[in-house]
């Protein structure tokens, strides 16, 4: 099992080695495409999270208004 504090134990040398391996595996032209896709995924997740929060707040205010009447 990977412990959450594992990433805190990585030093500069280990991070550089990992980045070199990623560069060798995917190549210089594929990495920007991968990062773009990752950014779109994070953006969509944040948008969905915001929409869910907004819907919950709207329904909570509707319930509160109907309960006070």
Query: What pLDDT shows up at residue 40?
Result: 96
Q: Give this prediction's pTM.
A: 0.56
Query: What pLDDT shows up at residue 45?
Result: 96
> Distance between CA 21 and CA 7 in Å, rounded?
17
Taking only the tens place, the pLDDT of each residue in 28-45 is 888 888 889 999 999 999
| Number of domains within the chain | 1
Taking only the tens place, the pLDDT of each residue in 6-30 is 656 778 888 899 889 988 888 888 8
Query: What pLDDT shows up at residue 67?
Result: 74
CA distances from 42 to 4, 20, 35, 37, 65 (A): 21, 24, 10, 9, 35
pLDDT reading at 1 higher than 80:
no
């Amino acid at each position: 099992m990977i412990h959450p504090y594992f990433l805190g134990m990585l030093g500069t040398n280990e991070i550089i080695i990992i980045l070199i391996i990623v560069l060798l595996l995917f190549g210089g032209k594929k990495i920007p495409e991968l990062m773009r896709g990752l950014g779109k995924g994070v953006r969509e997740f944040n948008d969905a999270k915001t929409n869910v929060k907004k819907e919950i707040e709207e329904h909570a205010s509707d319930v509160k208004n109907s309960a006070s009447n």
